[in-house]
Structure 1
């Protein structure tokens, strides 16, 4: 998310280069961003992340606390799928100065899947592997909407591949570690105003940018059995740096000033550096009875580090580098939940969670419209037999009304409005096989 008035402050920049970059890039605010998604189709999705670092019921625990693998017997496989359905329609207000519509629903759906495998080497050690996507967001507005000069389409997706090792130090204490290899995909499309002063009736041009990169990090966890009814868990994931570098594709740029600057500078590449935030989660569970278990989590995510995005344009005529600060701030998470083991086959999950916003209202942007989020989740797990489980879950992520206003530095024009009753619906499910 960029600030209300996107900033591109050159450290060293020729005048012509600044004209190109400020016109083509600042209007997009170096578009990049994402959200941390707790849901990956696993059974724990029905708990709104409550107890995620102690919920060692299937192999997906290697994503939320690798130490939990030591609680799993034999060889187990967990395959999941999910879809995120968005309801985030934008509504213009009187502060909007651009023509165009409201953009439609920018997030109609976003599918995902995950796969986890664990193997008990002996009564102390376990190994595992996970492939999952728990980071990212994608928006796709109508091309002619009022905010097209800030974004038409933006997507940032991260897929993690995590080999994992866990060891039971004592009967009560386990540790786990897994390196994360993250494949990042970034794509953006933004309209370019060929007629910035409104003197001519000239169709828009467009800037397109797409690239992929690999980043590395680590997932470390501790799991402690305090007594026969209480478990405590702590999980930490390090930041993962992604470096995107590719040539922006420019289409139908008819403004002679822009064409002159581009021809003179022969722009080669646009570099965008960003960090998937480091996180820390503490969880606890308490078994009230053989039927009921209470769970809770407290979490922190380092979004302030993600908000400083390096931008560099290389050209034959010189170069410039700058930092676009999106005014992100760290976020905090709290959740509570419960599990009800109804009988030998059915287990019912329910949870309530809250995440603070990574931006203030004045800094919200249309490429990543994000705010405070409440999670209302529920799900069921059904044991088909002693070696096979089936689970389904539903989560409502409620963000409510989110106002936004972004202003172009060049002429002071703004896109202004509100996302009313914004929400995400997450439906997921999967199976667990034990061998």
Structure 2
């Protein structure tokens, strides 16, 4: 491979593969409470059996007559496997290898904490600390398409103070400010066992294509309402406005931008910026207690992923003085996510005053769009079909089955527990990149599932 072609393909690969990790920032996390997990988060913005309702509906603080705190943690253990054929397209001909990676979605602990407090008979306030979005995928460095997908990590923390007003114990409204902190890492590399170094006369194995690390704070708002239709029936509605943190941090590479302009050194802690368009959500909840022993919860949540259209980054230090300027902005990828709904139903059984049992089911529509991506001109010219769905975001429709319960030690202290199993169908994934040579992955996921376990404590003063 001549140097001119190598420079061009390195730049193309950086543009096309950086999006894989950034797309992972779109994953919405439901895990805001242990009690909610037990009923598949059905009517989580409505029931208010503890202060965790504040993560979903700021009007929830109006349900409490005394200071109430809740805190807990959810352990998420996902397992995602992928395999397929990797084809390298070179002037010497096409070479195909089989490659796979198992359990590349990393386990995580998701904490939460809440405070609900009355001010007087009408006014109350709350404070919620939880996470909205998060994901980590970490592929093996020997995975033959690590230039497409290697390491992606997003951590967010949302701090939400809120205020609520209660109209005659029948209707309440609430408003919260959301202070979101986001920290992200995206890394793509050439495989450690790059099989074509000898044939092409290169020494690219293990090289970092792009390593982005950045963080930022952003501010948004939530508006919610609760309607106590009767003593046994309640309806809730809440809207979370969108967020768009502009991640600022460091960019490092063994290949860029020197692969484009040889007189420039590779990125070494260069400053970069990337804006994430995180979606707004609308949640509806309905809860009815039939009698002293049984209750029903219904929920629906709409997530506006349509705003997540593309990713663009800026690296001001890499101004090359050419038109078009390849790094300002650096067009990463057309994402073309689609909005979707999550539907959930939960049942509750109250055998005695101290114990509550829960069971739930949910159907969660994925954000990754089905079908083929027509925007990759190089892949189209080679006659290679490319899917919107990627290895780093093997998103699919998911189903949840959940179980949980609460035990009240006394009128002040209680403990919640919840368990869940979720799974999705295997999906076809086809991706293309130009580094170190045109590389095509044709395969998909062979397993998508996760186990969740959660526990929390609640105390009323």
Q: Would you call these one fold, judging by a TM-score over 0.5?
A: yes
Deviation at 1:405, TM superposition (A): 1.2
Give the corresponding residue for 2:81: 89
Give the corresponding residue for 1:338: 347
> Structure 2 vs 1, CA of residues 99 and 256 (structure 1 numbering), >3 Å: closer, same or farther?
farther
Work out which of the residue numbers 350, 355, 360 in structure 1 matches 2:359.
350
Distance 2:277 2:257 in 1: 35
Give the corresponding residue for 1:402: 427
Alignment of 1:161-240 (within 5 A): 161-192=159-190, 199-200=200-201, 202=203, 203-206=205-208, 207-240=210-243
Distance 1:256 1:69 in 2: 56
Matched, 1:52 2:44: yes
Alignment of 1:18-37 (within 5 A): 21-29=11-19, 31-32=21-22, 33-34=24-25, 35-37=27-29
SS in 2 for 1:418: strand
Distance 2:252 2:332 in 1: 22
> Structure 2 vs 1, CA of residues 99 and 243 (structure 1 numbering), >3 Å: closer, same or farther?
farther
Give the corresponding residue for 1:124: 122
Give the corresponding residue for 1:269: 271
Deviation at 1:334, TM superposition (A): 0.9
> Structure 2 vs 1, CA of residues 412 and 308 (structure 1 numbering), >3 Å: closer, same or farther?
same
SS in 1 for 2:238: strand
Alignment of 1:229-268 (within 5 A): 229-251=232-254, 253=255, 257=259, 260=262, 262-263=264-265, 268=270
SS in 1 for 2:295: strand
Contact kept? 2:257, 2:265, Cα under 8 Å: no
Contact kept? 2:19, 2:311, Cα under 8 Å: no
Distance 2:419 2:14 in 1: 41
> Structure 2 vs 1, CA of residues 405 and 125 (structure 1 numbering), >3 Å: closer, same or farther?
same
Give the corresponding residue for 1:415: 441
Work out which of the residue numbers 309, 320, 338 in structure 2 matches 1:329.
338
* Larger deviation, residues 174-183 vs 335-344: 335-344
Contact kept? 2:274, 2:312, Cα under 8 Å: yes
> Structure 2 vs 1, CA of residues 292 and 198 (structure 1 numbering), >3 Å: closer, same or farther?
farther
Give the corresponding residue for 1:426: 452
Deviation at 1:256, TM superposition (A): 7.7
Unaligned runs of 5+ in 2: 89-94, 371-386
Distance 1:261 1:48 in 2: 57
Deviation at 1:343, TM superposition (A): 0.8
C-alpha offsets along residues 15-61 of structure 1, whole Å, 9 cap, x if unaligned? 99976642323233363123111113431111112111211111101
> Structure 2 vs 1, CA of residues 254 and 303 (structure 1 numbering), >3 Å: closer, same or farther?
closer
Give the corresponding residue for 1:313: 315
Give the corresponding residue for 2:92: none
> Structure 2 vs 1, CA of residues 95 and 225 (structure 1 numbering), >3 Å: closer, same or farther?
farther
SS in 2 for 1:67: helix
Give the corresponding residue for 2:399: 374
> Structure 2 vs 1, CA of residues 120 and 264 (structure 1 numbering), >3 Å: closer, same or farther?
closer
Q: How many residues get paired?
A: 420
SS in 2 for 1:351: strand
> Structure 2 vs 1, CA of residues 117 and 17 (structure 1 numbering), >3 Å: closer, same or farther?
farther
SS in 2 for 1:247: strand
Q: CA RMSD in A?
A: 2.7
Contact kept? 1:265, 1:317, Cα under 8 Å: no
C-alpha offsets along residues 232-280 of structure 1, whole Å, 9 cap, x if unaligned? 10010001111113331123x4998457174399994332111221000
Contact kept? 1:136, 1:158, Cα under 8 Å: yes
Unaligned runs of 5+ in 1: 1-14
> Structure 2 vs 1, CA of residues 265 and 347 (structure 1 numbering), >3 Å: closer, same or farther?
closer
Q: TM-score, normalised by structure 2?
A: 0.84
SS in 2 for 1:329: coil
Distance 1:345 1:333 in 2: 31
> Structure 2 vs 1, CA of residues 18 and 201 (structure 1 numbering), >3 Å: closer, same or farther?
closer
Contact kept? 1:166, 1:174, Cα under 8 Å: yes
Contact kept? 1:311, 1:324, Cα under 8 Å: no
Contact kept? 1:59, 1:117, Cα under 8 Å: yes
Work out which of the residue numbers 93, 109, 112 in structure 2 matches 1:111.
109
Contact kept? 1:335, 1:354, Cα under 8 Å: yes
Distance 2:15 2:199 in 1: 20
Deviation at 1:369, TM superposition (A): 1.9
Contact kept? 2:400, 2:422, Cα under 8 Å: yes
Work out which of the residue numbers 37, 43, 50 in structure 1 matches 2:35.
43
